[in-house]
Amino acid sequence: MKILALFFIFTSCGNYTETKGVLEDTFSRNLNTPIDFKTINEAIIQPHCLSCHQQYATYAGVKNEASNILNAVTSNRMPKNASPLSAAKKELLAAWVAAGAPQGGSTTTPPPANDKLEATWVSLSSKVFYPKCLVCHNPQGQAKFLDLSTRQAFFEQRNRDFGGETLLNFEHPDESYLITVITDPDEPMPPVWSNLELLKTEEIEVIIEWIEKGLP
Ligand code: HEC
Ligand code: HEC
């Protein structure tokens, strides 16, 4: 209803023609088309949540937790360590959840064809390190003692010693301390408390291959 009010405020002042298009878009979209997942994803999930919550990468993942998500956002518990979402975004989310968190029409974007994880920095950083490590292991993060944000950083720390084990073991890549930590049965990385999904076997294999090839 706020949008409606705004519409009349604008129509009553001189800027009518300039703002008309934008407002009418918002206006008609809000009244006629139900909010779809694409809108929620682009406005809220991707920019504010995905860096920490891999489980929200799919519609199903978000829908399953829709009411918890709304609760966490309206109570300002989330996004963690960031400013609360704007009132407009909270309202948008509330309206979507109230409507049953629909997926909507044009939202099933098929994964890009070259979605395969490759043993290169470009591929690994965007598909594994960025979503699963970087939130903590960046130069400002809570685990900044081990920066994993650039290929250079990996390279510079390759021989770093952790109680007798090297971070990256080029002779026996699968014995690298990095791999030990990722696969630790008791305290794996990413930490259990982060809610991030652990690495899949195939992802670990690609990291090993990447070390073997000398971090291309
Ligand atoms: C910087 C990392 C980070 C970001 C960004 C983040 N979260 Fe979280 N989230 C966490 C962590 C860590 C927990 C585990 C509980 C805690 O530490 O508060 C959590 C817990 C949750 C929970 C379950 C516990 C609760 O408080 O309800 C929900 C739901 C949630 N997050 C939703 C979201 C949503 C929605 C966003 C985006 C608007 C978001 N989070 C952004 C890190 C994050
Ligand atoms: C939510 C924050 C967080 C995420 C995500 C995270 N880490 Fe960590 N990591 C830490 C913290 C905090 C420490 C230091 C305390 C500890 O060892 O538990 C640490 C320590 C480490 C260590 C050193 C362990 C040691 O023995 O000192 C390695 C290696 C590591 N992380 C790798 C990774 C990798 C690889 C990923 C992603 C696959 C990752 N971490 C994801 C927070 C995180």
Whether the CB of 137 sits within 6 Å of ligand 2 = yes
166 Cβ partners below 8 Å, 6+ apart?
A: 158, 159, 160, 176, 177
Q: How far apart are CA 54 and CA 45, in angstroms?
A: 10
Are 101 and 7 contained in the same domain? yes
Q: Two tokens at 112?
A: 């890009």
Spatial contact of 179 and 204, defined as CB atoms under 8 Å apart:
yes
3-class DSSP state of 144: coil
Give one DSSP letter per residue of 51-88, joined into a string. Answer: TT-GGGSSHHHHHHTHHHHHHHHHTT--STTSPPPPHH
Whether the CB of 52 sits within 6 Å of ligand 2 = no
Tell me the CA–centroid distance for residue 31 and ligand 2, in Å. 47
Are 39 and 125 contained in the same domain? no
Are 199 and 151 contained in the same domain? yes
In this structure, the number of other CB atoms found within 10 A of the CB of residue 172 comes to 12
Which of 107, 138, 153 corresponds to the end of one domain? Answer: 107
Whether the CB of 146 sits within 6 Å of ligand 2 = yes
Residue 114 lies in a domain: no
39 Cβ partners below 8 Å, 6+ apart?
A: 92, 96, 104
Are 171 and 86 contained in the same domain? no
As for how many domains the chain has, the answer is: 2
> Can you say how many angstroms the Cα of residue 62 is from the centroid of all Cα atoms in its chain?
12
Are 168 and 81 contained in the same domain? no
Phi/psi at 28 (5° precision): -70, -35
Please tell me the predicted confidence (pLDDT) of residue 25.
Answer: 41
The pLDDT confidence band at residue 35, using thresholds 50, 70 and 90, is confident
180 lies in which domain range?
Answer: 121-212
The chain-wide mean pLDDT, for the chain, equals: 83
Q: How far apart are CA 10 and CA 70, in angstroms?
A: 31
Whether the CB of 142 sits within 6 Å of ligand 2 = yes
Are 29 and 97 contained in the same domain? yes
Please tell me the predicted confidence (pLDDT) of residue 156.
Answer: 94
Tell me the CA–centroid distance for residue 194 and ligand 1, in Å. 8
Distances (CA, A) of 150 to 138, 157, 215: 9, 11, 11
Asked whether the predicted pLDDT for residue 125 surpasses 70, the reply is: yes
The pLDDT confidence band at residue 14, using thresholds 50, 70 and 90, is very low
Asked if the bond preceding 79 is cis, omega within 30° of 0, the reply is yes
Asked whether the predicted pLDDT for residue 195 surpasses 60, the reply is: yes
Whether the CB of 77 sits within 6 Å of ligand 1 = yes
In this structure, the number of other CB atoms found within 10 A of the CB of residue 190 comes to 21
Whether the CB of 133 sits within 6 Å of ligand 2 = yes
Residue 113 lies in a domain: no
Q: How far apart are CA 158 and CA 113, in angstroms?
A: 33
Name the residue among 209, 122, 117 with its Cα closest to residue 170: 209
From 181, 186, 194, 195, the mutation candidate for ligand 2 (largest count of ligand atoms within 8 A of CB) is 181
Please tell me the predicted confidence (pLDDT) of residue 34.
Answer: 66
Phi/psi at 162 (5° precision): -120, 95
Are 94 and 128 contained in the same domain? no
Radius of gyration of the CA atoms of the chain, in A? 22
pTM over 0.85: no
Residue 75 lies in a domain: yes
